[in-house]
Amino acid sequence: MKELAIYGGPKTLQDGEVKNWPPVDKSDEALVLDALYAANQTRGKHSLAFEKEFAEWNGNKFAVFTNSGTAALHMGIAGCGIGAGDHVLVTSYSWSSSATCILHHDAIPIFVDIDFDTFLIDPKKIEAAITPRTKAIVVVHLHGLCADMDAIMDIAKRHNLYVIEDACQAHGAMYKGKKAGTMGHCAAFSLNQNKCLSCGEGGIFVTNDENIYNNACKLWSFGETARPEQSRDFHAYALGWMYRNNELTAAFARGQLAKYDKYFEMLRANGNYLYENLNGIKGMLQPYEPEGCVHNWYNYNLRVDFDALGISTDVEARVRFRDAVCRAIAAEGVNACVWQRFILPEMTVFRAKNAYGNGYPWSIPGADEGVNYIPEEFPNALRYSKCHISIVKTLRAPNGLDIAEKVADAVTKVFDNINSIDPEKILK
């Protein structure tokens, strides 16, 4: 066994071997330069074209280009008519925006535990979380894997709930032949630099429902009923924010979307290589791709199996060991990290129940009844947050199977040397 790089041994992947994300070529440059020299920099041909192209690519009737995935999520909340004091169910483990978008419109997040194997909201636990005030479910397709949408949509139909897909990490991911963002009442995608489809910063809101679309557009642009490319009277008809994006970013998004199917093919091949070649390693649990799902491998998530390794049951000791393993993988040249260390119910804004001062929106009469954010009520989310390691961006284009093979070698090397992992040395 070779000595780990964290202890001075040879690295598996050398500096500069993994190419940067996203790849940029002359086609991106031509589009961005066209936008740069155009007369209209705010809402012109590239923004409108990107909306049309994305809707056609993903299979949606309506699409609105926004300045972030968070904005698109907020548009979903507003589009579905969620208001002050309403309850919205959401997974207990995700990026903060999955839940804070609910607060943006004065509604109350109600958390649901995850399924430990998929890392996604557990449909079997949804109905117990529904309250008389529940109006919607934010379903997060976390790390590029679609949630169990058949089960979720069945629950939503029986309880008359809207379903908002948080597809911010799920571009191209599939569930039983359907793309992420086409199964709920509306959906949000992020185009941040970390995402599989990137334009630096941005997002896109999609829906097939014209009423939801119109309501979301009001929020997107100052509360107006007309979009900037239409005839406007500049009157605010509803609560309005300013979530538009610009032409330069739209042009870059168009260039990246035109190549996304190729990127997706490469990412799938790299992720599948790891999936097939990291099986059977003692002390490591692989990610899980359920039958009928197509993962986009936004993040490739490993989990440390503490029980198999005989690691102390002390939570702090386990977390330190996980962190040391993660750092050892990163030292081999793999972009590995702990993606999110805590669950959403542990975040201060929810524990304090105070988003806008004076306890608002929880202080709305009747809104806080029965609402508790006790982390121990979400055991699977807590467990996952303390054992996972994310491999990010390393598997994306233009990196090919040669890089995936070395990533597999790096992970295998660390777990082959797992008995040498000493958190006191590595985390000092």
Residue 2's pLDDT is 86
pLDDT score for 15: 94
- Is residue 94 within 8 A of residue 243, CB to CB? The reply is no
For range 91-115, the mean pLDDT: 98
- Banded pLDDT at 152 (limits 50, 70, 90): very high
Give me the mean pLDDT over the 212-232 stretch: 94
How many residues are listed for the chain in this entry? 428
- C-alpha 309/C-alpha 305 separation (Å) is 7
Amino acid present at 45: K
CATH number of 26-258: 3.40.640.10
Report the percent of the chain where pLDDT is more than 70: 100
Share of the chain above pLDDT 90, in %: 97
The rounded distance, in Å, linking the Cα atoms of 51 and 64 is: 6
The C-alpha atoms of residue 240 and residue 6 are separated, in whole angstroms, by 51
Give the sign of the dihedral formed by CA 242, CA 248, CA 254, CA 255: negative
CATH topology of domain 5-21+260-341+382-426: Aspartate Aminotransferase, domain 1 (3.90.1150)
**Dihedral sign, CA of 301, 137, 244, 295?**
positive
Tokens matching residue 407: 């990533």
- Structure confidence by residue, pLDDT tens digits, 176-192: 999 999 999 999 999 99
The average pLDDT across 237-244 equals 93
* Residue 1: band (very low, low, confident or very high) from pLDDT cuts 50, 70, 90: low
Instruction: Please give the pLDDT value at position 428.
Output: 84
Model confidence over 304-330: pLDDT tens digits?
Answer: 999 999 999 999 999 999 999 999 999
| Tokens found for residue 414 | 């660390």
Reported as a single tens digit per residue, the pLDDT across 276-307 is 999 999 999 999 999 999 999 999 999 999 99
Q: What angle do CA 226, 231, 232 make, to 5 degrees?
A: 55
Among candidates 370, 374, 369, 367, which has minimal Cα distance to 82?
A: 367
**What are 166's strand-pairing partners?**
140, 188
Whether residue 115 is predicted with pLDDT greater than 90 in this model: the reply is yes
SS3 helix, strand, coil % of the chain, rounded to 5? 40, 15, 45
In 71-228, which ranges are E strands?
87-91, 108-112, 134-140, 162-166, 174-175, 178-179, 186-190, 203-207
pLDDT digits (tens, 9 = 90+) for 32-91: 999 999 999 999 999 999 999 999 999 999 999 999 999 999 999 999 999 999 999 999
The two tokens of residue 397 are 């284009």
The answer to whether the Cα torsion of 165, 140, 118, 378 is positive or negative is negative
Evaluate whether 5-21+260-341+382-426 and 26-258 have a shared fold. Answer: no
Residue 331 has pLDDT above 90, yes or no: yes
Give the start-to-end residue ranges of the domains of the chain: 5-21+260-341+382-426, 26-258
Alpha-carbon distance of 364 to 264, in angstroms, equals 45
Q: Which residue has the tokens 């954010």?
A: 373
The pLDDT tens digits of the residues spanning 336-379 come to: 999 999 999 999 999 999 999 999 999 999 999 999 999 999 99
